[in-house]
Amino acid sequence: MHMPDKPLIIQSDGSILLEVLSGVYEEARDAILPFAELIKSPEYVHTYRITPLSLWNAAAMGISQDVVLEHLRSYARYDIPQTVLSRIAQAYDRWDAVRLFRQDGETLRVEVRSPLLVEQLLARPDIARIVTGRPSGLSLLIPSGIRGRFKHMLIKMGYPVHDLVGYDRGDDLDISLREQALSGQRFDLRPYQAEASDNYWAGGSPRGGQGIVVLPCGAGKTIVGMAVMAKAKTHTLILCTNVSAVHQWMGELLDKTTLTSDDIGEYTGAKKEIRPVTVTTYQMLTFRKVKDGPFEHMNLMMARNWGLIVYDEVHVVPAPVFRATTELQAKRRLGLTATLIREDGLEQDTFSLVGPKCYDVPWKELEQKGFIAEAVCCEVRVPLPPDKGPEYVHAPEKTQFRIASENVNKDRVLKDLLRKHADEPVLVIGQYLSQLKRISASLKAPLITGSTANARRDMLYASFRNGDIPVLVVSKVANFAIDLPDASVAIQVSGTFGSRQEEAQRLGRILRPKERVSTFYTLVTTETSEEVFAHKRQVFLAEQGYKYRIEEWSLDDINA
């Protein structure tokens, strides 16, 4: 049946095309967003995709299969393909096939829908090993301490566990958001921040104790975290990617909540304070002296009666070194990130270990409403020096990428771009330390790398924010959790093999709201493997709706 006034075209592979110029575009977008992942958002037609994970996210948020089908049929121009209907039915069938309940203080009860699935579970040695009892044909008992590990095992089998165990209340904490920040600014939650925290909290129900909020860099994810803390009013552990992020969280908490410095503890290499709100790093929590030894700081943290765990930059959690933190399953868990994209395809790990996605909003929508900066992306293509050509051609593949990335001709282009943006704060971001040291020395600009002492990092970031440092050179440590609100230009001189996650994070460094348009440059060596990976990043940015232009430099331009 053809309905030309309806903006959705649903294809048999599960992708959905949404026409932006439709009069009911916003209604249709809001209808499908809870159960379909946004893949591309260029000017006129946005692409979403229905996947098992996107449907499990919806189911975990209480959205039924009937509601999914009703929303699709309401806006679909043509009949829904049978393959899509089957995919939706199968995903929902698997969602509630395994339920998890509390049996007693030390034991959880696993309720399984069918005898065949029980036998499938017990046939796996890793699962059979952790079963401590079988009270009935359709139920198993497991220790409460492996709640996260069990859920991770099951999702690898294609069965997301419906976790109905509930959460420890944690020790009480009197915390509220200020009406006016100590810094003097009027402080109100933006509408989408309030909606994100409400979606996560879900009225305080067990369904609301786990979830992930996806918002672009600069949109105020930290404020969403503080809004959730104000609802929970409980002792909270906040996990960050680095010490600079720890200090930023502590500063924001003091500025925008009623907590005092006595309430907030820093647990890092420099300080070991455990207080009602403790801010630490993933590295500290998973530190052990020997490879198979105990997580010393983890055990100390587990002894506290936390009621909420906040995972900043939650997309890093599925990495094996961070999985230990997810044994804190008895606590309410909030994940915050700009993107759940992982190049290793392990997005489902985040679902099982932290929680379902409970809020997402397209970047361009927030840009159009003035909540994040307008940005233009530009790829500048630079030739290799002639004497480097033979070395590049005969080098192994990985070495070729590095030769292209460290192309010395990029330095000349970089200086030209800095002159063009002489009145703006500029971040120069790269992958290779030898290249960054060369650039730092040439520009007489300070450099921040992984080995830079935390105190010096904080001092340099503060000087950049204050305008005392016009250009700051940073390694990949700047990919995550750095608040540099005045940066309006980022120049990427090298990157990680076309990583979409890295591209999103680096672009995010210049998306804080400001009067001027921000510019994101990527310097790419022509006729090399770097061009191939740059194209992958270019497609990703264009799919998010960003304007993208390409400039070509010749050897004559370089030598002029």
Please give the pLDDT value at position 455. 85
Rg (CA), the chain: 25
How far apart (Å, rounded) are the C-alpha atoms in residues 504 and 216? Answer: 8
How far apart (Å, rounded) are the C-alpha atoms in residues 239 and 257? Answer: 18
544-548 contact pairs (CB < 8 A, 24+): 544/40, 544/41, 544/362, 544/363, 544/364, 544/504, 545/41, 545/42, 545/43, 545/362, 545/363, 545/364, 546/364, 546/375, 546/376, 546/377, 546/507, 547/376, 547/377, 548/377, 548/378, 548/379
pLDDT band at 284 (very low <50, low <70, confident <90, very high): confident
The CATH number given to 191-361 is: 3.40.50.300
Please tell me which residue, 297 or 81, carries the higher pLDDT value.
Answer: 81
Low-confidence winner among 139-143, 225-229, 294-298, 454-458 (lowest mean pLDDT): 294-298
Q: Do residues 338 and 505 touch, judged by C-beta distance below 8 A? A: yes
Please give the pLDDT value at position 342. 57
Please give the pLDDT value at position 148. 84
Identity of the highest mean pLDDT range in 35-49, 310-324, 475-489? 35-49
Q: Do residues 309 and 235 touch, judged by C-beta distance below 8 A? A: no
Q: Do residues 427 and 478 touch, judged by C-beta distance below 8 A? A: yes
The closest of 460, 542, 445 to 430, measured between CA atoms, is 445
Q: Which CATH architecture has domain 96-163?
A: 2-Layer Sandwich (3.30)
180 contact partners, CB below 8 Å, separation of at least 6: 186, 187
| For the chain, the helix, strand and coil percentages under 3-state DSSP, each to the nearest 5 | 40, 20, 40
DSSP assigned state of 353: H
Please give the pLDDT value at position 175. 96
Please give the pLDDT value at position 2. 45
Q: Do residues 182 and 255 touch, judged by C-beta distance below 8 A? A: yes
Q: Backbone dihedral region of 543: left (phi > 0), alpha (psi from -120 to 50 degrees) or beta?
A: alpha
In this structure, the chain runs to a length of 560
How far apart (Å, rounded) are the C-alpha atoms in residues 517 and 219? Answer: 16
pTM attached to this predicted model? 0.74
Is it true that 96-163 and 191-361 share their CATH fold? no
173-208 pLDDT per residue, tens = 999 999 888 877 777 899 999 999 999 998 877 677
Angle at the Cα of 541 from the Cα atoms of 538 and 545, rounded to 5 degrees: 130
Angle at the Cα of 349 from the Cα atoms of 372 and 98, rounded to 5 degrees: 125
Identity of the highest mean pLDDT range in 224-233, 329-338, 395-404, 496-505? 224-233
Please tell me which residue, 554 or 368, carries the higher pLDDT value.
Answer: 554
Please report, to the nearest 10 degrees, the dihedral formed by the alpha carbons of residues 194, 195, 201, 203 taken in order.
100
The CATH number given to 368-559 is: 3.40.50.300
Identity of the highest mean pLDDT range in 38-47, 122-131, 146-155, 366-375? 122-131
Looking at the predicted structure, is the pLDDT value of residue 220 above 50? Answer: yes
pLDDT band at 71 (very low <50, low <70, confident <90, very high): very high
86 contact partners, CB below 8 Å, separation of at least 6: none
pLDDT band at 462 (very low <50, low <70, confident <90, very high): confident
- Over residues 502-529, the mean pLDDT reads 72
- Over residues 139-154, the mean pLDDT reads 89
Token pair for 425:
């704060």
> Got the DSSP string for 417-438?
HHHHTTTS-EEEE-S-HHHHHH
Token pair 């270019």 is found at 538
Q: Do residues 492 and 200 touch, judged by C-beta distance below 8 A? A: no
Looking at the predicted structure, is the pLDDT value of residue 465 above 90? Answer: no
Please give the pLDDT value at position 114. 93
Looking at the predicted structure, is the pLDDT value of residue 357 above 80? Answer: yes
Low-confidence winner among 235-239, 403-407, 483-487 (lowest mean pLDDT): 483-487
Q: Do residues 337 and 214 touch, judged by C-beta distance below 8 A? A: yes
How far apart (Å, rounded) are the C-alpha atoms in residues 279 and 254? Answer: 13
- Which amino acid makes up residue 321? V
2-15 pLDDT per residue, tens = 445 799 999 999 99
Token pair for 169:
């209340």
The domain limits of the chain are: 8-94, 96-163, 191-361, 368-559
How far apart (Å, rounded) are the C-alpha atoms in residues 511 and 31? Answer: 27
Mean of pLDDT over the chain: 85
222-274 pLDDT per residue, tens = 999 999 999 999 999 999 988 888 998 999 999 999 999 999 999 998 899 99
pLDDT band at 47 (very low <50, low <70, confident <90, very high): confident
Token pair 């129900």 is found at 205
Please give the pLDDT value at position 55. 94
Q: Backbone dihedral region of 8: left (phi > 0), alpha (psi from -120 to 50 degrees) or beta?
A: beta
Burial state string for 425-463 with b = 16 or more CB within 10 A and e = fewer than 16: bbbbbbbeeebbebbbeebebbbbbeebeeeebeebbee
How far apart (Å, rounded) are the C-alpha atoms in residues 458 and 460? Answer: 6
Looking at the predicted structure, is the pLDDT value of residue 409 above 90? Answer: yes
